[in-house]
């Protein structure tokens, strides 16, 4: 045990190994170098992150909205008033039965037929009136014969006188009989005239030359006096367009102005003239009435929808695509691009709409760069990038 204690208390002697010591030193130096590199990289990253970023021109150009613009220039345009309406007969005549109630036995015309004045359109039953006319005609002949006989007897009595054995009283009786028989002719003649007029009313005739617009008469139908018209006639084929015009355009229209009227499906206009302007404006729709007289044409059928254009003046104005013009509570406007690429709102006055676009009457000279579409996504003062175009319009 004493030997063991002696062994444990005996100091240990460290032996220096040069080869092992050099290897450890190299390892420590490598680790220190890696740590320094990591620290330097971290410092550089933090300094770049905290420094303000430089904005390159390419970055700015890419972030600005890309818009299409148009330079409209000016072009000759016509100031026009456009409105819609219907074709109507200028003088539409209702024709019905003005005689006694009767049954229709014949109808001679159809809708669209051209008729002449006095032409029979329909016929009512005259089986009662015709014999009465014949009876009165015979009665009139009898009355005339009797009147002639009475007049002869009266003349003979006057010629014979007292010498012929006739007293003054007898001659007066002959005179009275002659006068009564002559008066009877007038009575029967008047009765015959009335009956003939009633018989004539069983023929429904056209009062003027024209075109049959409607027909409500059928064989077997009972036609009463003063009832629903059996026919409607267009007087002499005269037609017109009755249109409704916006209140602000009424002041530009004048009686006598030429107007072009277009029907659906027919590109050729029918030329007419304004002959009447309404005296009042409808308080609900704010529209006024205008009537255009047209030359008769088979294609101008009453009831057809029509569109009319009245040319007021000719001028040179900018014309923009409809997508370029916007409107809000403050009125119509467009977006104009300034030289530095900034969006600017420009109030404009809009004229008529033509196939080429919207006519601008005020607000543009035609030399501006105007945003042609998608202006609703832009804001005044915003920077934009203009898409390249082939060149300005002239």
Q: Which long-range contacts (CB under 8 A, 24 or more apart) does 326-332 make?
A: 326/375, 326/376
For residue 362, what are the contacts with CB-CB under 8 A and spacing of at least 6? 348, 349
Q: What are phi and psi of 175, to 5 degrees?
A: -65, -45
Q: Which pLDDT belongs to residue 79?
A: 75
Residue 209 has pLDDT above 50, yes or no: yes
Least trusted range by pLDDT, from 45-59, 61-75, 180-194, 217-231: 45-59
Q: Which pLDDT belongs to residue 157?
A: 84
What confidence category does residue 218 fall into, taking pLDDT thresholds of 50, 70 and 90? very high
- Tell me the C-alpha distance between 39 and 378, whole Å: 48
Which residue, 119, 83, 303, is CA-closest to 203? 119
Tell me how far CA of residue 12 lies from CA of 6, 7, 8, 9, 19, in angstroms: 12, 10, 9, 9, 21
Mean pLDDT for 71-99 is 88
- Mean pLDDT across the chain: 83
Q: What is the DSSP string of 243-303?
A: EEEEHHHHTT--TT-EEEEEETTEEEEEEEEEEEEEEEE-TTT-EEEEEEEE---TT--TT
- Tell me the C-alpha distance between 246 and 248, whole Å: 6
Q: Which pLDDT belongs to residue 42?
A: 62
Q: Which pLDDT belongs to residue 215?
A: 93
CB atoms within 10 A of CB 79: 16
Residue 309 has pLDDT above 50, yes or no: yes
What confidence category does residue 92 fall into, taking pLDDT thresholds of 50, 70 and 90? confident
Place of tokens 């709409």: 353
CB 221, CB 205: distance < 8 Å? no
CA quadruple 208, 213, 216, 220: dihedral sign: positive
Residue 326 has pLDDT above 50, yes or no: yes
- The predicted-structure confidence for 231-280, as pLDDT tens digits, reads as follows 998 877 688 999 999 888 888 899 999 999 999 888 899 999 999 999 99
Terminal-to-terminal C-alpha distance of the chain: 122
Least trusted range by pLDDT, from 15-24, 165-174, 312-321: 15-24
Q: Which pLDDT belongs to residue 144?
A: 94
With a pLDDT cut of 70, the percent of the chain lying above it is 82
- The predicted-structure confidence for 356-380, as pLDDT tens digits, reads as follows 899 898 899 999 999 998 787 888 8
Mean pLDDT for 172-190 is 92
Q: Which pLDDT belongs to residue 90?
A: 83
Q: Which pLDDT belongs to residue 12?
A: 47
Q: Which pLDDT belongs to residue 26?
A: 57
Mean pLDDT for 384-394 is 64
For residue 198, what are the contacts with CB-CB under 8 A and spacing of at least 6? 99, 100, 129
Q: What is the pTM of this model?
A: 0.51
- The predicted-structure confidence for 5-42, as pLDDT tens digits, reads as follows 444 444 444 444 545 545 555 555 566 566 656 765 56
Mean pLDDT for 116-134 is 93
């Amino acid at each position: 045990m004493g030997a063991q204690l002696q062994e444990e208390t005996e100091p240990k002697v460290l032996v220096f190994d040069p080869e092992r010591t050099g290897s450890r030193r190299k390892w420590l130096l490598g680790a220190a170098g890696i740590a320094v590199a990591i620290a330097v990289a971290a410092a550089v990253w933090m300094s770049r992150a905290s420094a303000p970023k430089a904005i390159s021109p390419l970055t700015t150009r890419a972030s600005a909205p890309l818009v299409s613009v148009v330079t409209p220039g000016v072009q000759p345009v016509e100031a026009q008033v456009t409105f819609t309406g219907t074709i109507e007969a200028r003088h539409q005549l209702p024709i019905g039965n003005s005689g006694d109630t009767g049954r229709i036995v014949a109808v001679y015309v159809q809708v669209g037929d051209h008729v002449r004045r006095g032409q029979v359109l329909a016929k009512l039953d005259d089986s009662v009136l015709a014999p009465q006319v014949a009876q009165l005609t015979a009665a009139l002949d009898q009355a005339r014969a009797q009147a002639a006989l009475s007049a002869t007897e009266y003349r003979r009595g006057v010629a014979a006188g007292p010498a012929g054995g006739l007293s003054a009283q007898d001659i007066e009786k002959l005179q009275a009989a002659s006068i009564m028989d002559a008066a009877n002719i007038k009575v029967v003649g008047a009765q015959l005239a009335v009956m003939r007029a009633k018989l004539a009313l069983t023929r429904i005739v056209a009062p003027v030359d024209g075109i049959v617009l409607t027909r409500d008469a059928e064989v077997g139908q009972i036609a009463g006096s003063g009832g629903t018209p059996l026919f409607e006639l267009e007087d002499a084929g005269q037609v017109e367009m009755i249109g409704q015009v916006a209140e602000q355009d009424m002041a530009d229209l004048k009686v006598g102005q030429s107007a072009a009227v277009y029907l659906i499906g027919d590109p050729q206009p029918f030329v007419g003239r304004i002959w009447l302007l309404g005296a009042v404006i409808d308080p609900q729709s704010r529209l006024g009435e205008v009537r255009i007289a047209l030359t008769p044409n088979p294609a101008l059928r009453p009831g057809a929808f029509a569109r009319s254009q009245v040319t007021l003046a000719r001028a040179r104005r900018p014309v923009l695509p409809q997508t370029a013009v916007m409107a809000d509570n403050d009125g119509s406007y467009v977006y104009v691009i300034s030289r530095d690429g900034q969006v600017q709102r420009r109030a404009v006055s809009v004229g008529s709409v033509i196939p080429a676009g919207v006519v601008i009457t005020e607000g543009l000279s035609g030399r501006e760069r105007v945003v042609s579409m998608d202006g609703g996504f832009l804001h005044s003062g915003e920077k934009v990038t203009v898409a390249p175009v082939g060149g300005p319009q002239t």
